[in-house]
Structure 1
Amino acid sequence: MRAVLGRKERRTAGRLAAVVSSLFVLGWAATGFAAAHATVVSVAPAYGTTVVSGEKGDVTIHFDEAVTVADTGLAVLDRDGNRVETPRPTYRDSDHTIATTLPAALPDGTYLISWAILSADGHTVGGSSVFGLGVPPDTTLSKPTPDPLRGALDTMTRLLHALTYLGVVAAVGLPLVVAWCSARRSHAPHDGSGVHAAAVGQRRAVRLSTTGRPPLPPTESRIVRAGHVAVAAPRFLSLIATRRGAEPSRPTLRASPAQGASGEVGAATGSLARVGASTVAITSLAVLLLLPARLGGAASWVESASWTAAFTSNAGIAALLGLTGAAVTLLARPVVLETSAITPRNLAWRAGAALTVLGTALAGHASAASDFGLTLVSATVHVTAMALWGGGLLAVVAIWRGPERASALRQFTPIAVGAVIALAITGTIQAVPAITPLDALWTTAWGQLLLAKLALVAVTLALAAVLRHRARRSEYPGRLLIAETATLSVIVLLSALLAGAVPARDAYDPPLHATLNLGDAQADVTVDGMAAGDQTVAVHVRRDDAPIEIRSLTGKLAKEDDTLPQNLDFRRVTPKDRGPDYFVADLRAARGDWRLALTVTFDQTTAYAASTPYRVW
């Protein structure tokens, strides 16, 4: 017969569930920060170029990281929007380049290359480029309308990733903290204090009780009875190891009143651990199921090739790892925490926890890093430290009204210190390469999220110091603990958003304003954003003391060493209340140092040329 949770258990579980529910709402509101990551390095045929008839060749798009493309993800369209029949896209350059071939019987005209791919870190990237076949292209050709379904699924995926982070805290961090505290007290008399008492309470859920109270159901506490576990980053998780050779502790048949109260708390924390593991499993499965449509639209859900591409992509592998790990932790049913013996169930739980953390780390920016190994290790340690810090606070919150609160804080302190040190080191390793230049730290959404996270970390550490100082004086400020838990919960949310947001180096998009001297005239060059990709250059030619007449304006964009030249097709525009001396041209530029050269012809005998540095971020 299943026992019903008591009032204290429901109240404790309710407080913990309230934190998770509030973060769900915050996560939905904040998912707009994230966007695509992979950047186009080059397109062939290049934007605005004219391909000679009979020399059509291949269409290639080269990215700065490995990408995944569906069969419909690379298309060539005519000026009326009709799709040109091309072979299935192929990969080159270690999956950094996607390519297809133009048909031999393609008529002359303007054509648009359109692509939609999945970057290595799980974000979709779309774009287009125009070229001419046998004739100069019409660069005013309208771009394809983005698929609204893909945008909605991207937003949903980012929300699912945020929920995954919260699930890891409860599913992995909370059991690890309870295991650590139990191990530290394995050689001391069980006095029913601290988090260790919660472990004893968990044992009472599956052992015969002589107190007269009905036992709690095993499913309420299966995860927290995990035993001494370790996940990725063994050096960091060595805090959890138990003393070798110790005799397994024998569970008692009678618990003290303090242990009885902790049993109620243990049931609540055990339920939360199960909810966390279930959350990771559900969100990972959902991310996996959404991948085909994110690659190629709704029709890709019924295409086997799209499912193959989804399962073999980095994002798909990360989701599979998270799903497998969460399922193993739910099914392992490990033995009692105090038992230090290595059993198949304990080993299974450890493997499941490791896969869960590894999948969460792989779903972030580690997949796209140039130094993949170091970045993945750093991200794994970062996720583990975050889970331990958050899991410890959840355990302390669960017993914050009990007499064992001071002991719980003392047991949790070394975990918190180790977690903070690991977070600081790994956070620095991951953040420094992403902040280029430094101005991007406060001008991009990613940089602002990072600053907010750092500020909250400082607030949390200050709250923790005050809280532990008062606890040593037998003063227990419950509001301070709630505040610390709330701020740490927001830190977890910000960590998830940072994993899904465009790094500062990729989101940095400063404007360009330059003035070129053209004899007695000047050319004001303006570009709204200098991020890599599509750009529009606006040029205003003026003379301060007299009207000006311009016959033509031509331009060329090339690398500083005059390689990769791109001729610009300037067209004259006439804004309201202004003269006919405004010109605009569209271009596509990759990240790097370029030079923009302009030639202005005033009449048959007068022309000037000038150039300016053109830094693309």
Structure 2
Amino acid sequence: MLRKNRKIYLIFVFVVFCALLLFPPTKQASAHAYIVASSPAADEVLDKAPSSLFIQFNEAVEPAFFSLSVLGPAGERADLGDAAIDPGHPDKLVAGLKPDLPEGAYTVKWKVVSSDGHPVTGTLLFQIGASGGSPDVQPGSSVEPAAAPGADLLLVRWLWYAGMTLFSGVLILHLILLPRSSRSGDSGLPSRSKWAILLGLALTVAAVLGSLPQQTADNAGTTWAQAWNGELLRETLQHTGFGTVWKAQVLLLLLLAAATAVILKRPGANQAEPGFGKIHRYAAAAALAVGQGLFLSKAFIGHAAAAEVKSLAIAADYVHLSASALWLGGLLAVIFLLPAAAGTDPETGGRPKAYWEAIRRFSLLAAGSVTLLLISGIYGALVHIPSFDALFHTGYGIVLLCKIALFLCMLGLGVSGFIHGRRRSRPLGRGAWTEFILGLVVLALAALLANLPTAPSSGPEPGRMEAEVQGYRITLDVSPNTVGKNLFSLGVVNQDGTPAANIEQVTLSLTSNEMDMGVIEVILPGGGGKPEAEGLITMGGEWNVHVHILLESLDSLDHDFTLEVGNSS
């Protein structure tokens, strides 16, 4: 039965891997940074040419790897090439324009790096003079679709997770899980534990060092070979949040290497406490603390860095990473390292008491880790998944579902192992190895999630507002409810449920609740049916929509709606 279940789990793992390779998540617009205001506004028609322009984002952007170019009606450059981040407003990209620009349609192409380290690009259109030609791109402002993360990025992330998990597992085994009586010996750590801790450290070092050129290449839009450029690397290190965190990670790695050297030091013949003695335990505790610092640093350069409540999101991300490493690292330790570390019972030749005590302690550790994973995971889902529908219709949501499914499989196997461990009826074996293999897949999915645009990136759903006004039921639909052209549809229903046919004209007056953008009026024709007309919304954010309905009796219906406008995708 066990063998049959093991085959089923392995087949499931294989199918998930194939699905990720053959059917990568669909591209979607990046939600990391988006336009909330601009001057000129998207699709604005100007009487005369402005001397400068700005684009304001929903969050501060990195003061590095940004660009902005303005192309005129014939494709010529219309900006002065002086694009910069406003020193007083780190969320605003500004640039000067050439004097005496001719009439016509202008395309603004921009690129910034958002606060979570992901580059975002897009376009914005405006027109000088009413007779200008049409540009070659769709009206409004847009954010270009974010490509699925490349294999190099996923590899770097996976190496980081795998290395820290393995390193943490060795420390947990010899510092927490094994009874002190079994930690003695004349040669320090067992050979298998020594190789495991060195491999974990090597993988982590390779991931941290490799993340610098990888992030530089991603920000600059170049290849890895081109990223090995002193100026580009310097810009990453000095002017991005990633660079600050990377330097902290290198310092932590040096401390980790020093602590590891002490842990691996062979005890002297005259040492008071041979084997894994007091100095080794102090070094292991220090290494474990430094490792927690690395997990915390990782949370500062992920999706949590762009969350609305940043401190809470970073804390939850750190807890999730740390709990994952404790659970999976401890699991690896007990199935791969524990048999050699605990040895055998000299009397029976079977597993000694130290083995079963370590299993018991790991069960408690795993239970605590799973609890923290559930709490932090639910919080993260609430932050990054805005609706139940987004869980099934966005790339981020689909990958998260796969991760949850594997997590539940691991949990089922863990409960089974816990029961057998308490009964001391069977050493950990195939079920534990299957659980560990699933854990490796979960790490791969975690690396993918860390670099996919979160679910809100697809923008808000089309707006619908409803109200009862003087005995009439008014329904206003705004689609697609984004910056640019929108279709405004009004439904007016009598008390008996029939559509009102006595509408002379409808006037919609839109005013921004966030800044003075003037009044946008949209006129809907009267008569029967459902009045509708196209109108232009010039920026994202919160708008007040005043509905004025003139009836054939010359009576009027008035109501104010609040509309939350997203950005084009």
- Give the TM-score taking structure 2 as reference length: 0.71
> How many Å apart are 1:591 and its aligned residue?
3.4
Secondary structure (helix, strand or coil) at the match of 1:42 reads strand
The amino acid across from 2:67 in the alignment is G
Change in 2 beyond 3 A, CA 1:119/1:365: same
Answering whether residue 444 of structure 2 is matched by residue 493 of structure 1, we say yes
Indicate conservation of the 8 Å contact 1:114/1:128, yes or no: yes
Secondary structure (helix, strand or coil) at the match of 1:111 reads strand
Give the alignment of 1:330-345 within 5 angstroms: 330=257, 333-336=260-263, 338-341=276-279
Task: State the match for 2:79 in structure 1.
Answer: 85
Secondary structure (helix, strand or coil) at the match of 2:62 reads strand
Among residues 105, 110, 113, which one is paired with 1:110 in the alignment?
Answer: 105
Among residues 123, 128, 132, which one is paired with 1:133 in the alignment?
Answer: 128
Task: State the match for 1:8 in structure 2.
Answer: none
Indicate conservation of the 8 Å contact 1:514/1:612, yes or no: yes
Task: State the match for 1:76 in structure 2.
Answer: 70
Change in 2 beyond 3 A, CA 1:413/1:369: same
Task: State the match for 2:306 in structure 1.
Answer: 368
Give the alignment of 1:376-525 within 5 angstroms: 376-399=314-337, 404=351, 406-437=356-387, 439-473=389-423, 474-476=425-427, 478-511=429-462
> How many Å apart are 1:118 and its aligned residue?
0.7
Answering whether residue 281 of structure 2 is matched by residue 281 of structure 1, we say no
Secondary structure (helix, strand or coil) at the match of 1:125 reads strand
The amino acid across from 2:203 in the alignment is G
Cα deviation 1:182-234 (Å, max 9, x = unaligned): 234777432xxxxx6xxxxxxxxxxxxxxxxxxxxxxxxxxxxxxxxxxxxxx
Change in 2 beyond 3 A, CA 1:83/1:185: closer
Task: State the match for 1:122 in structure 2.
Answer: 117
Secondary structure (helix, strand or coil) at the match of 1:175 reads helix
Task: State the match for 1:189 in structure 2.
Answer: 181
Secondary structure (helix, strand or coil) at the match of 1:189 reads helix
Secondary structure (helix, strand or coil) at the match of 2:221 reads helix
> How many Å apart are 1:609 and its aligned residue?
11
Task: State the match for 2:240 in structure 1.
Answer: 313
Tell me whether 291-300 or 355-364 shows the greater mean CA deviation.
Answer: 291-300
The amino acid across from 2:186 in the alignment is P
The amino acid across from 2:57 in the alignment is F
Tell me whether 502-511 or 342-351 shows the greater mean CA deviation.
Answer: 342-351
Distance 1:44 1:615 in 2: 20
Task: State the match for 1:178 in structure 2.
Answer: 170
Change in 2 beyond 3 A, CA 1:386/1:562: closer
Task: State the match for 2:60 in structure 1.
Answer: 66
Distance 1:535 1:343 in 2: 65
Cα deviation 1:246-285 (Å, max 9, x = unaligned): xxx66359xxxxx9xx64x436534541453244234413
Task: State the match for 2:271 in structure 1.
Answer: none
Tell me whether 350-359 or 279-288 shows the greater mean CA deviation.
Answer: 350-359
Give the alignment of 1:104-253 within 5 angstroms: 104-135=99-130, 141-142=136-137, 155-156=149-150, 159-160=151-152, 162-184=154-176, 188-190=180-182, 251-252=186-187
Distance 1:591 1:77 in 2: 27
> How many Å apart are 1:504 and its aligned residue?
3.2
Secondary structure (helix, strand or coil) at the match of 1:436 reads coil
The amino acid across from 1:395 in the alignment is A
Change in 2 beyond 3 A, CA 1:455/1:358: same
Indicate conservation of the 8 Å contact 1:33/1:497, yes or no: no
Distance 2:338 2:223 in 1: 50
Indicate conservation of the 8 Å contact 1:71/1:306, yes or no: no
> How many Å apart are 1:116 and its aligned residue?
0.9
Distance 1:177 1:302 in 2: 37
Distance 2:487 2:66 in 1: 31
Change in 2 beyond 3 A, CA 1:367/1:185: closer
The amino acid across from 1:251 in the alignment is D
Change in 2 beyond 3 A, CA 1:187/1:64: same
Percent identical among aligned pairs is 23
Aligned length: 518
The amino acid across from 2:214 in the alignment is V
> How many Å apart are 1:427 and its aligned residue?
2.9
Distance 1:128 1:175 in 2: 45
**Which ranges of structure 1 fall in alignment gaps of 5 or more residues?**
1-18, 191-195, 197-248, 254-258, 517-522, 542-551, 571-580, 601-607
> How many Å apart are 1:340 and its aligned residue?
3.1
Change in 2 beyond 3 A, CA 1:310/1:292: farther
Indicate conservation of the 8 Å contact 2:510/2:543, yes or no: no
> How many Å apart are 1:406 and its aligned residue?
4.5
> How many Å apart are 1:89 and its aligned residue?
1.5
Distance 1:463 1:185 in 2: 20
Among residues 32, 47, 51, which one is paired with 2:46 in the alignment?
Answer: 51
The amino acid across from 1:470 in the alignment is H
Indicate conservation of the 8 Å contact 2:120/2:146, yes or no: no
Change in 2 beyond 3 A, CA 1:557/1:115: farther
Task: State the match for 1:293 in structure 2.
Answer: 220
Tell me whether 38-47 or 451-460 shows the greater mean CA deviation.
Answer: 451-460
Change in 2 beyond 3 A, CA 1:441/1:146: closer
Change in 2 beyond 3 A, CA 1:536/1:421: same
The amino acid across from 2:211 in the alignment is S
Change in 2 beyond 3 A, CA 1:30/1:564: same
Indicate conservation of the 8 Å contact 1:168/1:357, yes or no: no
> How many Å apart are 1:42 and its aligned residue?
0.8
Answering whether residue 515 of structure 2 is matched by residue 558 of structure 1, we say no
Distance 1:599 1:58 in 2: 40
Distance 1:465 1:440 in 2: 31
Change in 2 beyond 3 A, CA 1:184/1:151: closer
Cα deviation 1:327-370 (Å, max 9, x = unaligned): 65457642237243289976985675355323321221222234
Indicate conservation of the 8 Å contact 1:70/1:296, yes or no: no
Tell me whether 358-367 or 101-110 shows the greater mean CA deviation.
Answer: 101-110
Indicate conservation of the 8 Å contact 1:325/1:352, yes or no: yes
> How many Å apart are 1:120 and its aligned residue?
0.5
Change in 2 beyond 3 A, CA 1:401/1:355: closer
Change in 2 beyond 3 A, CA 1:493/1:97: same
The amino acid across from 1:314 in the alignment is G
Change in 2 beyond 3 A, CA 1:339/1:458: same
The amino acid across from 2:367 in the alignment is V
> How many Å apart are 1:468 and its aligned residue?
1.6
Tell me whether 340-349 or 479-488 shows the greater mean CA deviation.
Answer: 340-349
Distance 2:219 2:514 in 1: 42
Indicate conservation of the 8 Å contact 1:165/1:360, yes or no: no
Cα deviation 1:560-586 (Å, max 9, x = unaligned): 79953475899xxxxxxxxxx997566
Change in 2 beyond 3 A, CA 1:69/1:347: same
The amino acid across from 1:116 in the alignment is K
The amino acid across from 1:312 in the alignment is H
Indicate conservation of the 8 Å contact 1:334/1:346, yes or no: no
Secondary structure (helix, strand or coil) at the match of 2:107 reads strand
> How many Å apart are 1:119 and its aligned residue?
0.5
Distance 1:53 1:251 in 2: 85
Distance 1:533 1:272 in 2: 51
